[in-house]
Structure 1
Amino acid sequence: MKIIIGLFFLHIIKSDLVEGIVDTTVILRKRITLGCMYSGSETIVQCSWFKFNGSFEEPLCAFHNTYGKYISEKYKGRMSFVFENISSDMSITLTETSKQDIGIYFCYIALFPLGTVKKVIAVQEDDFGKIMPSSHQTFTENSTITLNFQYTLEGDVKKVTLERFTDVKMDTIVSCEKLMNSRTKATYGFDFINRILVDCSILHNITILIYQAASTDEGLYKSYFNAGSQNQTIVVNMRLKKGISPLYTVAVMYGGSLVIIIAIISIAVICVKRKWKHKSKETIPPTTSSTYNVEYQPRSGTMYGEHIYANLSELKS
């Protein structure tokens, strides 16, 4: 236990400000889940959770691949890992929450051989308000989908922020910003690294590619264009429908032809099997000839009193 506590407190450092973007914002409820899932292939060695407390990071819990888990005394009884064993999902759940739980949380994942990655999560009391979609778009599950956001006002766009809203949380997808050398920089949210591709080369026309879209990708996608005095917000309500299997698609396209083809193939297979079976019987060598004398005894009262003998040697051969 002393070893894991020592590893745990290595992350307690002075912090004058929260660097980077907030990856996820969660609305305060009596029970909340702070998600932290790593999608890479590296080996997870340890996961540590902290809460930003103005000037330092307050420890919550830690989970080590060898030494097990540790929970701070302050959070024992109302904090738990979503999965009891270390895995790619190191999310935690807080119960019996109060306003004291509002703030910024950090999830550190120590990876071998990459190093440490961090996710920033904010818990706030107020909800996100009513968000009205500009358009509705429906796609098929497990396909690569494209969402396009185009700035239509006058002005030079300097920064674009893309976010996804669901009922109780908001995820930052990417922040695209113009640099001094006229190039653009894209900073992805933690949950979207290596999952999507965003073209930020032209800030007034942003395109998102989502690979193998799943039901968890549904929601309101909000694009905020910052162009000084001429700012613009575009919201797309993205939904997914169940995909159609390739076999069903072929059947619909070619109608009864597919059924006919299957029937022909089935008949051909049956004919070949029968022919092969018949040929196998013909090639079986005859057995050694033997003589079987079978004696039939007539029933009493029959008109034939003599014995009947049958020689089956010829019949067997």
Structure 2
Amino acid sequence: MDYLTFLLAILYVYKARCEEIFWDTTVKLAKNMALECVYPSKDTLTQMEWFKIKTLERESIAIFNPTYRVIIREPYADRVYFSNSTTASNDMTLSFHNASEVDVGFYSCFLHTFPHGTWEKVIQVVPSDSFETAVPSNSQKVSEPGKNVTLTCQPQMKWLLQEVTWEKIQPHQIDLLTSCNLSQGRSYTSKYPRQILSNCTQGMRRTFITMPHIMASDSGLYRCGFKASTGETETFVMRLIVTDGKTNNQSILFMAAGTALLLLLIILITTVIAIPYKRRRRRQKRGLFKEYWDTQNRATNNYRSPVPANQPSDGAGEDIYVNYPTFSRRPKTRV
């Protein structure tokens, strides 16, 4: 009997080590960190418990019951607390303070609900230096709150797709939104605390996610990943920007103010250029008119003067008199 128990224990250990743990969220280790666990349905929460998943067992961290309230296990009594443990809330987020390297690992948020039964979310805590940093986005989409938004992604590779995933990337954590195993035609039910619609069919070459009635909190980076049957991978990152009324009004005001300033600047530049030009034109006209007037005056004077202007004088300061012949008309006499 002992020998059989020993063999079963070895088999269990081997299975546990070979079995890959599937997690819903990756969190970067920090001195003060929060493991988010929000039940997306409106079912009644009867009891929940937090575990740390180890190789051979699950270590209980804390337990919450709406009637008996909260119990924190001894090793974690001074280091963890529930951020919002009320009977009316489905938010069972567990917060750490003074966290260290010993807190790296997998955690389970296990809920008992009525009438749908159990629900579990698995969270992986990784060291800060191994946390995956977000890459620049390949595209951008802007939308208003309350609308249905669809993000679409298509791979460039020609190989047969085996797996497709969608994730939301934040500075402190990465949430798995959907996971589709195309070889088995099976999709994963997301533990993300909002409704996500997606496609999962064998042979598909294009994937999408739809988020109905988006909010400002949905803004951020979204990544779709492809894995081919050959093992090759391909990823695309897109940014979603959800505006609000204040932002729109401010943008309109800024645009109107900018347009007014630009128009004022154009008028000012035009005025600065036009004034000197008009002054130049006025001076030119005055010069032409004066020249014409002087020419007319000289012509008139030459016509009226009987003496040439260059006729020499007999002496300095002496006038020259010219005697013109006079004619008298004598009266006729009769004979």
In the superposition, the TM-score normalised over structure 2's length comes to 0.64
Report the Cα offset of residue 218 of structure 1: 1.9
Structure 1 match to 2:200: 200
- Equivalence map 1:70-109=2 (5 Å): 70-86=71-87, 87-109=89-111
Structure 2 match to 1:186: 187
Structure 1 match to 2:227: 226
Count, aligned residues: 228
What is the aligned counterpart of 2:170 among 146, 166, 171? 166
Report the Cα offset of residue 207 of structure 1: 1.2
Structure 1 match to 2:239: 237
> What is the distance in 1 between the residues matched to 2:198 and 2:148?
13
State the Cα deviation string for residues 119-155 of structure 1 (Å, max 9, x = none). Answer: 0001001221241211111111221101000112211
> What is the distance in 2 between the residues matched to 1:80 and 1:231?
39
Q: Secondary structure of 1:158's partner? A: strand
What is the aligned counterpart of 2:156 among 152, 158, 166? 152
> What is the distance in 2 between the residues matched to 1:40 and 1:19?
27
Q: Secondary structure of 2:38's partner? A: coil
Report the Cα offset of residue 20 of structure 1: 6.1
- Give the 3 Å change call, closer, same or farther, for CA 205–94 of structure 1 in structure 2: same
Question: Unmatched 5+ residue regions in structure 1?
Answer: 1-12, 245-317
- Equivalence map 1:1-317=2 (5 Å): 16=16, 21-86=22-87, 87-125=89-127, 126-180=130-184, 184-191=185-192, 195-201=195-201, 203-227=204-228, 228=230, 230-243=232-245
Whether contact under 8 Å (1:158, 1:203) holds in the other structure is: no
Bigger Rg, which one? 2
Report the Cα offset of residue 216 of structure 1: 2.3
> What is the distance in 2 between the residues matched to 1:83 and 1:153?
45
Letter of the aligned partner of 1:94 in structure 2? Answer: F
Q: Report the identity percentage.
A: 28
- Give the 3 Å change call, closer, same or farther, for CA 176–203 of structure 1 in structure 2: farther
Letter of the aligned partner of 2:116 in structure 1? Answer: L
- Aligned residues: CA RMSD: 2.1
The structure richer in strand per residue is 1
State the Cα deviation string for residues 222-256 of structure 1 (Å, max 9, x = none). Answer: 11111125432111111111159xxxxxxxxxxxx
Whether contact under 8 Å (1:21, 1:189) holds in the other structure is: no
Letter of the aligned partner of 1:29 in structure 2? Answer: A
> What is the distance in 2 between the residues matched to 1:28 and 1:203?
37
Whether contact under 8 Å (1:145, 1:209) holds in the other structure is: yes
Letter of the aligned partner of 1:28 in structure 2? Answer: L
Q: Secondary structure of 1:16's partner? A: helix
